[in-house]
Amino acid sequence: MSCIRLSVCIPTYNFGKFIGETLDSIVCQATEEVEIVVLDGGSTDNTAEVVEGYLRTFPRLRYYRQDFKGGIDRDMAKSVELAHGEYCWLFSSDDVMINGALDRVLRKIQSGKDLYLCGFTRCTIDMKPVAKHPILDRTSDAEFHLEKPTDRASYFAGALTTTAFFSYMSSLVVRKDRWDSAGADESFMGSCWGHVARIFRMIPEGLNVGFLPDDYLLNRGDNDSFLETGRVNRIAIAVDGYHRLGEVYFGEDSTEAYHMRRVLKNEYTMSYLLYTKLITHEEGDERKLEKLESLVNNLYIDGSPTDRFRLGVYRLSPMFLLHVTAAASRRLRSLTR
């Protein structure tokens, strides 16, 4: 395995329905410099059967099955631990790699950066393209040394979504030795952001990031496993998690933490929050409604005039109006199909 330059690391759990398409997209373009590492966190569906079918035809696929679900943080870390490549491309088991992307990444990593952040297109659950996902306010390849205050300020100010802050694993190609030496921050293991904390730990020693805005993969939408516990808890994972990441690694009052809070507002729009308020009200769960209001308060905690206005809109929007708006939206969608 000494000739492996790139390991595609795929933690998975009960994605047997999708992982075959993921592996197809990788195997068809993988050279001898590429291996695939699948870490199965104890799937109870047909994941093992699907992956084992590829073992017979692709010798550089290695499949490890645990008897337990380690969670995304620990399973992702374990998949990298098992890899032999100089670089590891973290990859979700329901996404699809664009044809030619492996060759492009193999050429890009010759420049030796610590981390590469790849562009992608969001799709429906059946992989019909919807829109290019915004990451940074750059349209061409760019390089940032995040240990340098001026570079870090430019990078954080240019962030459009939390993907710029490494939230989406399929967009990340990382040097394995840097990942290994950074080590895990145990306080974030189990938060869903263990990998982000590990990357932030690299910054003081130097973190050279290459931004690659062209599309390298297709992201399967409407399949967010973090939604298993409901919309309110999904919002909490992001808002609470990124607020804490900002506080721990940069300080609550830092410019970096401010921009991390700013991009959360881009991702959780007022229309999304109001719709979540409506369906939570329809479910009759008062505790979740209280939790949602607390999250909205935290989302608009900076107190700018825009924040105060949005907070007022959320609090004062009458439920009957939300019902009418949602019904009209559903009607419009049905007419335009």
**Exposed/middle/buried for residue 245 (C-beta within 10 Å: 0-12, 13-18, 19+):** buried
The answer to whether 77 and 193 have CB atoms below 8 angstroms apart is no
Q: What span, in angstroms and rounded, lies between the C-alpha atoms of 333 and 294? A: 31
Q: Which residue, 227, 246, 273, sits at the end of a domain?
A: 227
Number of structural domains in the chain: 2
Q: Is residue 193 part of a domain?
A: yes
150 assigned to some structural domain: yes
- Answer yes or no: is 1 within a domain: no
221 and 326 belong to one structural domain: no
Residue at 223 is within a domain = yes
Q: Check residue 332 and give its pLDDT.
A: 53
77 domain residue, yes or no: yes
Same domain, 35 and 134: yes
CATH of the domain at 59: 3.90.550.10
Q: Return the DSSP state at 227.
A: G
Q: Which helix (H) or strand (E) covers residue 210, if one does? A: strand 208-220
Q: Are residues 147 and 265 in the same domain?
A: no
Q: What is the DSSP string of 296-321?
A: HHHHTTT--HHHHHHHHHHHH--HHH
Q: How confident is the prediction along the chain (337 residues), in pLDDT tens digits per residue? A: 458 999 999 999 999 999 999 999 999 999 999 999 999 999 999 999 999 999 999 999 999 999 988 899 999 999 999 999 999 999 999 999 999 999 999 999 999 999 999 999 999 999 999 999 999 999 999 999 999 999 999 999 999 999 999 999 999 999 999 999 999 999 999 999 999 999 999 999 999 999 999 999 999 998 777 667 789 999 999 999 999 999 999 999 999 999 999 999 999 999 999 999 999 988 998 999 999 999 999 999 999 999 999 999 999 988 877 776 766 565 555 555 5
What is this structure's pTM? 0.94
Task: List the domain range (segments joined by +) for residue 322.
Answer: 230-336
User: Do 186 and 332 sit in the same domain of this protein?
Assistant: no
Phi-psi region of 209 (alpha: psi -120 to 50; beta: other; left: phi over 0): beta
- 268 within a domain of the structure (yes/no): yes
Domain stops at, among 227, 244, 263: 227
**Shared-domain flag, residues 141 and 259:** no
Q: Which residues of 223-241 are buried (b: 16+ CB within 10 A; e: fewer)?
A: beeeeeebbbbbbbebbbb
Quick one: 299 and 245 in the same domain? yes
- Residues 112 and 236 grouped into a single domain: no
Looking at the fold, whether 84 and 217 belong to one and the same domain comes out as yes
Q: How do strand 87-90 and strand 61-65 relate by DSSP bridges? A: unpaired
Domain end, chosen from 168, 199, 227, is at: 227
Q: Is there a single domain that holds both residue 117 and residue 152?
A: yes
Query: Are residues 212 and 298 located together in one domain of the fold?
Result: no
Contact assessment for residue 12 and residue 41, using Cβ atoms and an 8 Å cutoff: yes
Please state, in angstroms and rounded to a whole number, the distance separating the CA atoms of residues 149 and 153.
Answer: 6
- Same domain membership, residue 41 and residue 111: yes
List alpha helices for the chain, DSSP H.
16-27, 47-55, 72-81, 101-108, 149-157, 176-182, 194-202, 231-249, 255-267, 270-283, 286-299, 305-316, 319-336
Tell the residue number behind the tokens 């047909």, with chain if given.
46
| 161 found inside a domain | yes
Of the chain, the end-to-end C-alpha distance in Å amounts to 50
Residue 327 counted as domain residue: yes
Residues 244 and 200 in one domain: no
pLDDT attached to residue 2: 55
**What is the C-alpha separation between 133 and 119, in angstroms, rounded?**
7
